[in-house]
Amino acid sequence: MSDLVAPFGVLFMGRALAELLLLAVVCGPVSVLVFLRRLAFVADALTHTVFPGVVIGFLVAGWTGIAGGALVAALLTAVALTVLTRWGRLSDDTTVAVLLTAMFSLGVVLVSRQHSYTSDLTAFLFGRLLTVTPAQLAQTTVLAAIVLIGLAVTARPLILRAFDPIAAATAGYRLTLLDLGLNTAVALVVVAAVQAVGTILVIALLIVPAATARLLTDRLTAMAVIATAVTGLAAYLGLLASWTASVRYGVRLTSAAAVVLTLVACYLLALLAGQLRRRPHPPATVTR
């Protein structure tokens, strides 16, 4: 039992787990809404379009400036995506793809001007989970609270918008504002997670939990709970696997990547469980 708990007594491991558990609490419900609205590509775009903001924040104020730069870029992207997809002449996926490639390429151009190009790019893309600071934990707590309060206030119209946009408009809800609200929530989740898991791996936290939960239940509340629980479990098991591989066996296993792979493994197990549950049972035989 001590081997399952002892690693998290180490300060940096405890902080990493605390950061991921905070992210689990907010990513669970947000991922369900992303799943319902089929916004996986939009969520992917948001994780990439914050990249130039991350780089600019780093260039201006070092690692402490990443959150501010990511926040500005994320909010601007949320507004741009909402406006362009609602009133643009191109299809939504084309608009998102253009914005994604343009912003991400801009970030690569900016970071390539630095002498430490390779190490900086790796940290920006895959995060620095084991160097989470108390300040980062505080930032994540504040952002998570803002998102959860916003979702609690707008949950009913957001769900109605997902299932029946015409009914939502008839009921008096402004669809553009609802879209902007959800895009902003996703953007804030990206900002909260980007320093820990990077701009690449954060997409897994926004997509995989809800996909896993959907394989196990049809109820929205249960989906949010399961998505949160699965993310928390993957955080614990992924960090534990990374620690064990590195300390006991001398195998380098990136913590954030281990967490994401564990999350994907949970999805595959849920997929298998769903297939077994739907398998037709053989007819019962009558015995004397």
pLDDT digits (tens, 9 = 90+) for 30-40: 999 999 988 88
Domain presence at residue 211: yes
CA distance to 12, 138, 240, per residue, from 262 (Å): 20, 26, 11
CATH of the domain at 145: 1.10.3470.10
Average pLDDT for 90-99: 72
Question: Is the separation of the CB atoms in 262 and 47 below 8 Å?
Answer: no
| Angle at which helices 220-249 and 11-36 cross, to 10° | 150
What's the residue count for the chain?
288
The yes-or-no verdict on residue 192 having pLDDT over 70 is yes
The yes-or-no verdict on residue 281 having pLDDT over 70 is no
Domain presence at residue 103: yes
Domain presence at residue 108: yes
Average pLDDT for 141-150: 93
Instruction: Give the least confident one: 72-86, 139-153, 169-183, 205-219.
Output: 72-86
Confidence of residue 84 (pLDDT cuts 50, 70, 90): confident
CA atoms within 13 A on the CB side of 9: 5
Structural domains in the chain (count)? 1
Domain presence at residue 288: no
For residue 129, give its domain range: 1-274
The yes-or-no verdict on residue 251 having pLDDT over 90 is no
The yes-or-no verdict on residue 24 having pLDDT over 70 is yes
CA distance 264 to 184: 26
The number of angstroms, rounded, from the C-alpha of 281 to the middle of its chain's C-alpha atoms is 38
Domain presence at residue 279: no
- Alpha helices (runs of H) in the chain, residue ranges in sequence order: 2-5, 11-36, 40-49, 51-61, 66-87, 92-111, 117-126, 134-163, 165-170, 175-214, 220-249, 255-278
Tokens for 175?
Answer: 């669809």
pLDDT for 38-51, tens place per residue?
Answer: 888 778 877 778 88
Tokens for 49?
Answer: 């379009």
The yes-or-no verdict on residue 283 having pLDDT over 70 is no
Burial class of residue 188, CB neighbours in 10 A (0-12, 13-18, 19+) = buried
Domain presence at residue 143: yes
pTM summary value: 0.85
Calculate what percentage of the chain has a pLDDT beyond 70.
89
- Position of tokens 């926040």? 71
DSSP letter for 212, please: H
Domain presence at residue 228: yes
Geometric angle at alpha carbon 48, from 43 and 50, rounded to 5°: 100
Confidence of residue 288 (pLDDT cuts 50, 70, 90): very low
Domain presence at residue 76: yes
